[in-house]
Amino acid sequence: MGTAAAFKGFEILRPLNIAHYEFTNEPAKKAWLAIERLEQSGKDVHVLSIGEEAGFEADWNLRLCSDEAAFPHEGIVKDCRERLRACFLRRREDDLCKRRQAGEIELEEYLAGLAKLASHANADTQLTKDQIKASRMAELIELARFKGINNPPPDSAPILTNERGDVLGEKGNIIVVQGTVKSGKTGLISACIAALVGAPDDSDTLGIVAPPTPGLILHFDCEQGPRNHYRLMDTIIRKRCSSRTDPPTLESFSLLDIDLADRWPLVEAVASKFAENTPIKCVIFDGGADFLKSLNDEETAFDMVDRQYKFARKFDCLAAIVVHENPGTDMGKIRGHYGSQLHRKCQSAIVVEKGKDEISTLYASFLRDGSWPKSEATFFKYDTAKAMHIECMDPTSDRKSQKDDSKTAKLHEIAKQALIKPLTYARLLEAIAANEGCSEATARTRYREMSDQKIIKKNSDGSWQIATKG
């Protein structure tokens, strides 16, 4: 054996606090004592210095390392092995603690590391399962504990607002963008991304504002295949941002062709890769439920919401999650246990409602730190000429007028069917109820509406007939 082999043996034994008398031959004892003296005096430890300190001949290491007795006595080999093992585990535990305190690793990685060490430890080591459990609990308690009125957490920068300045989403939070199928959610997402990458001031971002904040935008499209994904990017870059080059702060991925089981690992891998060089400002999941096999499996649904929230916390970014509302409901409920849990955890819920006039209404069903009611909504529609959604005027008055006109036309039709000839009040209610398949109370309501709008008139004999125009 040569110099490297000699030092390998002594380097392995050095952390174990082995005494010189545990060696079985004199040369090994002398070498060990020489190493201790050199270290205590602050001198370099190498083959020549050990040999000189111990009074050995020049080739001492060759003879010593060829002698099996150079290492500790067979009776204490097991004890040495256990001490070596414990020393190794303590060093690993200390390293994990230092990295956690420095913020280099998250709590999950720290606890996983401790658990792995625990699986290798035994009753004779310093690291027991009870110690791991106590360490984990102490960390969790400190993480959850209120830090005091004079120790507020760092301010969380707003990432998205509306034109009024209402904060829609901040770093470290998740927000929901919800609506029925084809209500304009993807159009809104294109506007949000354009605002986030710094679209020109005259760009149409549907009233969405992104305060200047450095960082990367990650977009994961689970809804569209490569062709439609390209069209979306073209709308953002060429049409909304008036650019011919890809924004350096935007990375977009189409996941529709990626196996379901691979989607979330891909997201985490992408984020970890880019976060090494650039902080992440916002991540958008267009199809947040498309990471799940079932929205109604409570355990997996809750787990995915937890993953998405912890993702936002880990990377200190805003996570915007696009989801579908249940069809045929006016309650704004999003699908399954997944949707219900998202609503509980999100900072805000942004709603997109599409009317019969093809105009979408944009507002917040709730904001954790403000209010954006439907009465103060933003409106947008698809412009065929521009091939994208654009902001438009408030259609409320036109919608009301159209609704009133439609209702008046309906009342005229009811009167026409019921009053083929003049009828008494009682007979008129019976005719309305029969023709409309409604209750007597509803028939009375229709009668009053027709009378108020002078669609019908009362004759001198008390009967009712359709009023003549003019």
pLDDT tens for 425-468 read 999 999 999 988 888 888 888 888 888 888 888 888 888 888 87
Same domain, 118 and 164: no
The residue among 375, 394, 413 that closes a domain is: 394
Which of 394, 427, 445 corresponds to the end of one domain? Answer: 394
Same domain membership, residue 268 and residue 384: yes
How many Cα atoms sit within 13 Å of 189 on the Cβ side?
Answer: 31
Q: Which of 72, 90, 112 is the last residue of a domain?
A: 72
SS3 of residue 281 by DSSP: strand
Q: What are phi and psi of 209, to 5 degrees?
A: -120, 140
Closest to 220 measured CA to CA, from 274, 263, 176: 263
CA atoms within 13 A of residue 94's CA, in its CB half-sphere: 7
Q: Which DSSP state fits 467?
A: P
Domain span at 120: 79-144
pLDDT tens digits for 236-252? 999 999 999 999 999 99
Overall domain count for the chain: 4
CA distance 160 to 318: 9
Round to whole Å and give the CA distance between 355 and 363: 14
140 and 190 share a domain?
no
HSE, side-chain direction, 13 A CA sphere, residue 244 = 0
Do residues 449 and 303 share a domain?
no
What band does 181 get if pLDDT is binned at 50, 70 and 90?
confident
Burial 32-41 (b: 16+ CB within 10 A, else e): bbbbeebeee
- Whether the model clears a pTM of 0.75, i.e. scores above it, the answer is no
Q: What whole-number distance in Å separates Cα of residue 59 and Cα of residue 417? A: 120
CA-based angle 152:109:213, to the nearest 5?
45
378 in the same domain as 310: yes
Position 101 pLDDT exceeds 90: no
Q: Which of 301, 265, 269, 271 is nearest to 283 (CA)?
A: 271
Round to the nearest angstrom and report the end-to-end CA distance of the chain.
121
- 267-288: per-residue pLDDT in tens? 999 999 999 999 999 999 999 9
